[in-house]
Amino acid sequence: MRRMMQTIQSALDRWFATNGYLKRLIWLGCMSVVIPVVLAGSAYYHFSMIKLTEQFQDNNMASLNLLKDRVENILTNMEHESMQLASGPLMRNALGSTHYKSDYFLHLDLLDLFQLHKNTNNLIEEMIYFDAKTDMVLSHYYGLVSLADYKEKQDMKAALEGNTQAGWAYLPQSGEAGYISYVRKLPVMGQGEPRGVVILQMKEQELRSLLRSYSVSLEDQSLAILNADQQIILHTDGPGEIGKMASEDAVLQQIAYAEGRERSGHEVLKGEHGNELVAYASASMGRTYVSQLPEREMIAQLNWIKVLILISVSIFVLVGMLLTWFSSRLAYNPIQQLLRYGENLRRNGHESSPQGNEIEYIRSSLSYLNEQTETLNRYIEGIQPDLRDRFLQKLLQFSGSWSGSRLDEECARHDVPTEGQFLVLVVKVENLVKKKRFLPSEGPVIVFALRNVMDELLSQEHDLRGYVVDKNDSDSVAILHFNPEIPSSEARQRVCRYAEDIHHALDQYLSFSAAVGVGRPGQLAGVAESFREAQLALQYRLFDDAENVLFYEDILATQRNPVFMYPREMEEEILESLWNGMLPHAEDALHRFSKRVRSSESYTVMIQGYHMLLSAIIQSMETKGPGMLERLGGNLFDQLQENQTSKEMHDWFIGVLFPLCIETSQDLRTNSSRLIVQRVCEHLSSRPEGLQSLSDCAELVNVSPSYLSRLFKKEMGVSFIEYLMNLKVQKAKQLLQDTDYTITEIAEQVGYSERNLNRAFQRFVQMSPNQYRMSVR
d(CA 171, CA 169): 6
The number of residues in the chain equals 777
3-state secondary structure of 190: coil
Q: What is the pLDDT of residue 357?
A: 44
Beta strands in 187-256 (DSSP E): 196-203, 222-226, 232-235
pTM for this model (two decimals): 0.37
Do 592 and 573 touch, CB atoms closer than 8 A? no
Residues 6+ apart with CB under 8 A from 202: 78, 123, 124, 125, 179, 180
- 10 Å CB burial of residue 566 (0-12, 13-18, 19+) is middle
Encode pLDDT of 413-445 as tens digits.
Answer: 877 887 888 888 888 887 655 544 555 555 677
Residues 6+ apart with CB under 8 A from 312: 34, 37, 41
Nearest to 711 by CA among 143, 36, 179, 126: 143
Q: Lowest mean pLDDT: which of 9-13, 155-159, 620-624?
A: 9-13
Q: Which amino acid is at 6?
A: Q
Residue 388 reports pLDDT greater than 70: yes
Encode pLDDT of 31-55 as tens digits.
Answer: 776 777 777 777 777 677 777 777 7
d(CA 646, CA 282): 57
CATH number of 398-554: 3.30.70.270
Three-class SS of 650-661: HHHHHHHHHHHH
Pick the CATH number of 54-299 from 3.30.450.20, 3.30.1330.10, 3.10.450.50, 3.40.50.150: 3.30.450.20
Q: What mean pLDDT is reported for the chain?
A: 76
Residue 580 reports pLDDT greater than 70: yes
Encode pLDDT of 68-108 as tens digits.
Answer: 888 888 888 888 888 888 888 888 888 878 788 888 888 88
Q: Which amino acid is at 14?
A: R
d(CA 242, CA 204): 10
Instruction: Name the strands in the sheet holding 475-482, side by side, starting at the edge strand that comes first in the sequence.
Output: 465-470, 475-482, 421-430, 513-518, 549-551
CATH 1.20.120.80 fits 673-776, yes or no: no
Encode pLDDT of 753-769 as tens digits.
Answer: 888 888 889 888 888 88
Average pLDDT value for residue range 667-685: 73
3-state secondary structure of 142: coil
Q: Are strands 513-518 and 549-551 parallel, antiparallel or unpaired?
A: parallel
- 10 Å CB burial of residue 538 (0-12, 13-18, 19+) is buried
Q: Lowest mean pLDDT: which of 132-136, 163-167, 553-557?
A: 553-557
Do 729 and 765 touch, CB atoms closer than 8 A? yes
Encode pLDDT of 347-369 as tens digits.
Answer: 554 444 444 444 455 456 556 65
Residue 141 reports pLDDT greater than 80: yes
Average pLDDT value for residue range 602-614: 79
Residue 563 reports pLDDT greater than 60: no
Residues 6+ apart with CB under 8 A from 480: 422, 423, 424, 425, 464, 465, 466, 495, 498
Residue 499 reports pLDDT greater than 80: yes
Highest mean pLDDT among 117-131, 474-488, 590-604: 117-131
Distances (CA, A) of 762 to 744, 755, 769: 16, 11, 9
d(CA 263, CA 244): 22
Q: Which amino acid is at 324?
A: T
* 485-521: b (≥16 Cβ within 10 Å) or e: eeeeeebeebbeebbebbbebbeeebebbbbbbbbbb
Do 544 and 560 touch, CB atoms closer than 8 A? no
